[in-house]
Amino acid sequence: MSSAELCTALLGVTFNHVIAPRRGAHWQLSDGEAKALGEAYGAVLDKYAPSVPAGPEATAVMTSLVVLGPRFMADAQQQQEKPTGATDDETQHEQAAGGGEFTTSTDAA
């Protein structure tokens, strides 16, 4: 993976899955924007850190961040949205029921 590709992937994940969900959709990068920024930052990285190895280890780490990062962010978002005091089972039941108010059989009586 080249420095430009590495930077493109990192910028895409950072802006589209970390910043934009918190700051608004206007912070999302298109593929072209991410590529342009990635190439620019990749050139800077190559200039000032040419001896930094970007072998299979760096590729594995970056690929993991790109693939798994958004999932970790989604988990964090779901935890923030979970009603206070709700257990995971209650939340899953509520979501399966269409997100309505969670009631138990004793609540109906």
Band (pLDDT 50/70/90 cuts) for residue 28 is: very high
Higher pLDDT pick, 85 / 39 = 39
> Is 104 within the bounds of a domain?
no
pLDDT at 90: 59
SS3 of residue 97 by DSSP: coil
Query: What integer best gives the mean pLDDT of the chain?
Result: 77
Query: pLDDT at residue 32 above 90?
Result: yes
pLDDT at 40: 96
> Is 105 within the bounds of a domain?
no
Number of domains in the chain: 1
> Is 34 within the bounds of a domain?
yes
Query: pLDDT at residue 97 above 80?
Result: no
How many of the other CB atoms lie within 10 Å of CB of 14?
16
Query: pLDDT at residue 47 above 80?
Result: yes
How many of the other CB atoms lie within 10 Å of CB of 64?
10
What's the domain range around 46?
A: 3-96
> Is 102 within the bounds of a domain?
no
> Is 53 within the bounds of a domain?
yes
Band (pLDDT 50/70/90 cuts) for residue 68 is: confident
Look up residue 25 and give its DSSP letter. Answer: G
